[in-house]
Amino acid sequence: MDIKKKSSLKVLLKVLTADFMCLVLLLFYMVFYRSFWLVNNIVFGICEILVMLMLLADYAMKQGSFLRSQVNFHGLDECENFGFTIGLISTVPSYLSIVFLLLGKLKILGNTVAVYYLTNTFFAPIFNLFSLNFNPPEKNASVASAVAANTTWLSIIVALILPFSMILVCYYFFKIGYNNVDLKSLLVYKRSKKK
- State the first-to-last Cα distance of the chain, in angstroms, to the nearest integer: 50
**Given this model, what pLDDT does residue 161 score?**
93
Report residues of the chain scoring pLDDT below 50: none
Flag whether the pTM goes above 0.75: yes
* SS3 labels along the chain: CCHHHHHHHHHHHHHHHHHHHHHHHHHHHHHHCCCCHHHHHHHHHHHHHHHHHHHHHHHHHHHHHHHHHHHHHHCCCCCCCHHHHHHHHHCHHHHHHHHHHHHHHCCCCCCCHHHHHHHCHHHHHHHHHHHCCCCCCCCCCCHHHHHHHHCCHHHHHHHHHCCHHHHHHHHHHHHHHHCCCCHHHHHHHHHHHHC
**Given this model, what pLDDT does residue 138 score?**
60
**Given this model, what pLDDT does residue 170 score?**
93
CA angle 95–45–52, rounded 5-degree value: 60
Contact (CB, 8 A) for 183 and 176? yes
